[in-house]
Copies of this chain bind each other. A is one copy, B any other.
Amino acid sequence: MKSYRIALSYDGTDFRGWQRQPDGRTVQGVVEAAIHKITQKRVTVHGAGRTDAGVHALAQVAGFRGAIRMADADLFRALNAVLPEDVRILSLERAAPDFHARKSARSKVYRYRIVHAPQISPFDRRYALHHPWPLNLRAMREAARLVARTGDFTGFSSNRDRTPIRTVRRSELRKTGGEIVYTIEAEGFLRYMVRAIVGTLIEVGRGKCPPERVEEIFARRDRSLAGPTAPARGLCLVRVDY
């Protein structure tokens, strides 16, 4: 049995997310199918982050184990030859036997892109949210700052998780030219958490609620106080650290 670690990049637009589904094209599904096609082995590929439908990855990390005889370099090349063009394996290496892409991860970085200009380029439409209306960036930055904490993130998740405590190490908003980029880093995230946070930041930016709303959401753990879940297209898993 060999243990592998791969980094991969994908355009999430045409995937129903990371996690394998009986129907539906998923990233885990196509990667497992590619490994099977090349090695005749059925393996389970564990991703560091289970990205939702439409969410992209610049460098997702995943692991799998299998009695594969092929040399690593050959497996790497064969995978990229077999995989569809919207997923690329960036690297393949041998991992420790106890390596688990999600459980071993120290932190994950997600980025959300908002095009804040009258027009969005057709080349950005799959990768960013378009918000042509006024936004109070100062209020949004303040709200973003309040997200960086160890706390109960139930109010920012659509699921009730039995362990809703998470530590967000970094939560910041930057505007460069006509683009707003929100970056968030944590060891783990609840379901739809980043998109609920972004939806809330936009509500704050529109003046629908004050930045202190974030405190209230933490205190009351009430999803209805937070903004709507922002569209998947703007979200990208940027990096996983071990």
Q: What is the CA–CA distance of A80 and B87 in the complex, to the nearest angstrom? A: 31
Partner of A122, one of B9, B121, B122, B125: B9
Q: What is the CA–CA distance of A87 and B119 in the complex, to the nearest angstrom? A: 11
In the assembled complex, A189 has its CB within 8 A of some CB on chain B: no
Partner of A119, one of B11, B56, B80, B86: B80
Return chain B residues, CB-CB under 8 Å to A153: none
| B88-A11 in contact (CB<8A) | no
Partner of A123, one of B11, B80, B122: B11
| A88-B122 in contact (CB<8A) | yes
| B122-A85 in contact (CB<8A) | yes
Q: What is the CA–CA distance of A121 and B56 in the complex, to the nearest angstrom? A: 12
| A122-B11 in contact (CB<8A) | yes
Return chain B residues, CB-CB under 8 Å to A123: 9, 11, 56, 127
Q: What is the CA–CA distance of A119 and B87 in the complex, to the nearest angstrom? A: 11
Q: What is the CA–CA distance of A152 and B42 in the complex, to the nearest angstrom? A: 59
User: Which positions 73-119 of chain A face chain B at CB distance < 8 Å?
Assistant: 80, 85-88, 90, 119
Q: What is the CA–CA distance of A9 and B124 in the complex, to the nearest angstrom? A: 11
Return chain B residues, CB-CB under 8 Å to A120: 85, 88
Return chain B residues, CB-CB under 8 Å to A9: 121-123
Q: Can you name the residue of chain B whose Cβ is closest to the Cβ of A125?
A: B85
- A-to-B contact residues, CB < 8 Å: 9-11, 56, 80, 85-88, 90, 119-123, 125, 127
21 inter-chain pairs at a CB distance below 8 angstroms, sorted by A residue, are A9-B121, A9-B122, A9-B123, A10-B122, A11-B122, A11-B123, A11-B125, A56-B123, A80-B119, A85-B120, A85-B122, A85-B125, A86-B122, A86-B125, A87-B122, A88-B119, A88-B120, A88-B121, A88-B122, A90-B119, A123-B127
